Amino acid sequence: MFSINNILRENIKRLVPYSSARDEYQGEASVFLDANENAFGSPLEQQFNRYPDPLQYEVKKRLSEIKGVPIRNIFLGNGSDEAIDILFRSFCNPGVDNVILVPPTYGMYKVSANINDVEARNVPLTEEFQLNLEGIAEAIDKHTKLIFICSPNNPTGNSIDRADVETLLANFNGIVVVDEAYINFSRQKTFIQELTEYANLVVLQTLSKAWGLAGLRIGMAFASEEIIEVMNKVKPPYNVNEASQQLALQALANVDQVNIWIKETLMQRDRLVIGLKDFDFVLDIYPSDANFILAKTTDARGIYNFLVQKGIILRDRSKVELCEGCLRITVGTPGENTILLQTLQDFK
Ligand SMILES: Cc1ncc(COP(=O)(O)O)c(C=O)c1O
């Protein structure tokens, strides 16, 4: 049986979190001399002299409406990369615990593991880019705290079979992290609905992809109240800045625009697939549920270098496990995709 107390680090159980000036006083007041801010203002048109809301209430309230998840089940981070790091710091004892990664997958899981001195056990995806459940079961031991599943997966673009993820959730006594950074581009359902079913589920999403706010750095984790409480305790007090909170709130009022872009992205994805298939140096294009495609080519490095000279940058993934010869191509605007396809005509 999963119990958060069985997997939480002892020092985090005992941790007394930082108490900010605004945590200690809540109510109506007009003179704030409690936080050593500059009382005169900011040398800007917009004023940022006050610390932001540590728990980002307004942004979470809006997200709660959009996602249908209570505020107490939402954590916000400085990008989902921060949420990933906080999961390591909350649950994994350095030098003792381990996590399971299923490469090829998003690179930050491994980097975060290395930073936190936590062993990353690799159980590669199958040739079909799906989970090797037997391999995962063999890799798990009593020190395994987290399993990271990225769906739709970066860099392969496909979704991971839902039933396989549910098998892990039902049988693993640690936390299964389902990273849904690209879910808005997918036909698959989000795992957010399963939060009431599985106490060991953490779903990651981000405003960096479909929402077009990568520069603001806002990532989301959805999980049980117990897990969210731990993450809030461990995070830096003001991890999402005031400008980002205000701008995110404005953007979240504009769902219609985002939905138009998602539709356009999917149309452009189809167009790129058709266009790229025409080149004889493109051997295969893997089905994608994301805003990028993975193309297997005869000469990934050659194409990459050729395009760099023309001012077009793709991601060369040819050195990544199971991705030999592969380039990862983000779906651009119609104009950008035209430039890419036209430029490739000159590649010999
Ligand atoms: C699968 C996946 N998760 C998380 C992230 C990071 O997102 P954020 O910008 O919210 O840190 C990325 C960024 O490329 C990603 O591909």
pLDDT tens for each residue of 122-150: 999 999 999 999 999 999 999 999 999 99
If you average pLDDT over every residue of the chain, what do you get?
Answer: 97
Does residue 291's CB lie within 6 angstroms of at least one atom of ligand 1? no
Q: What is the mean pLDDT of the segment spanning 157-161? A: 98
Which ligand 1 atom is at minimum distance from the Cα of 219?
10
Structure tokens at 103: 């490469």
Strand partners, 178: 149, 203
Q: Give the closest residue (by CA) to ligand 1 atom 13.
A: 181
The closest alpha carbon to 74, from 61, 87, 85, belongs to 61
Q: Which atom of ligand 1 is least distant from the CA of 83?
A: 11
- What six digits make up the tokens of 198? 């599985």
Token pair of 20, please?
């900010």
Ligand 1 nearest-atom number relative to CA 105:
1
Q: Quick one: pLDDT at residue 20?
A: 84
pLDDT of amino acid 105: 98
| 208, 222, 289, best to mutate for ligand 1 pocket (most atoms within 8 Å of CB) | 208
Q: What is the pLDDT of residue 1?
A: 86
Q: 319 C-alpha to center of ligand 1: Å?
A: 20
d(CA 156, CA 104): 7
Q: What local confidence, expressed as pLDDT, does residue 255 receive? A: 96
Report DSSP state, residue 253. T
Cα 27 to ligand 1 centre (Å): 37
- Nearest-CA residue for ligand 1 atom 2 is 181
What pLDDT score does 12 carry?
Answer: 97
Q: How confident is the model at residue 28 (pLDDT cuts 50, 70, 90)?
A: confident
156 lines ligand 1 (CB under 6 A): no
Residue 289 pLDDT greater than 90, yes or no? yes
Report the distance separating Cα 112 and Cα 212, nearest Å: 24
pLDDT interval class at 22 (50, 70, 90): confident
Is the CB of residue 73 below 6 angstroms from any atom belonging to ligand 1?
no
Report whether 97 contacts 15 (CB < 8 A): no
pLDDT digits (tens, 9 = 90+) for 94-112: 999 999 999 999 999 999 9
Ligand 1 contacts CB of residue 109 (under 6 A):
no
pLDDT in tens, 188-218: 999 999 999 999 999 999 999 999 999 999 9
Ligand 1 pocket, 292 CB below 6 A?
A: no
Residue of 3, 4, 174, 149 lying closest to 98 (CA atoms): 174
pLDDT for residue 184 is more than 90: yes
**What angle (nearest 5°) sits at the alpha carbon of residue 221, between those of residues 219 and 225?**
145
User: Of 165, 231, 179, 236, whose CA–CA distance to 208 is shortest?
Assistant: 179
Distances (CA, A) of 176 to 69, 115, 270, 288, 292: 19, 20, 32, 23, 25
Mean pLDDT of 43-48: 98
For ligand 1, atom 11, the nearest C-alpha belongs to: 79
The percent of residues above 70 in pLDDT, for the chain, comes to 100
Q: Which atom of ligand 1 is nearest to the CA of 77?
A: 10
State residue 179's pLDDT score: 98
Give start and end residues of each alpha helix (H) in the chain: 4-7, 10-14, 21-24, 57-67, 80-91, 108-115, 133-139, 162-171, 225-234, 242-251, 255-277, 300-309, 334-344
Q: How confident is the model at residue 27 (pLDDT cuts 50, 70, 90)?
A: confident
* pLDDT of residue 176 exceeding 80: yes
Supply the pLDDT for residue 23.
78
What average pLDDT does range 151-162 have in this prediction?
Answer: 98
Distance 217 CA to ligand 1 centre (A): 10
* Cβ(208) – ligand 1 distance below 6 Å: yes
Q: What is the pLDDT of residue 348?
A: 82
Q: What pLDDT is recorded for position 24?
A: 79
Region 218-236 average pLDDT? 98
Q: List pLDDT tens digits, range 237-260.
A: 999 999 999 999 999 999 999 999
Note the pLDDT of residue 320: 96
80 lines ligand 1 (CB under 6 A): yes
Q: Which pLDDT does position 6 carry in this prediction?
A: 94
- Tokens representing 220? 């989301």
Q: Is the CB of 106 under 6 A from ligand 1?
A: yes
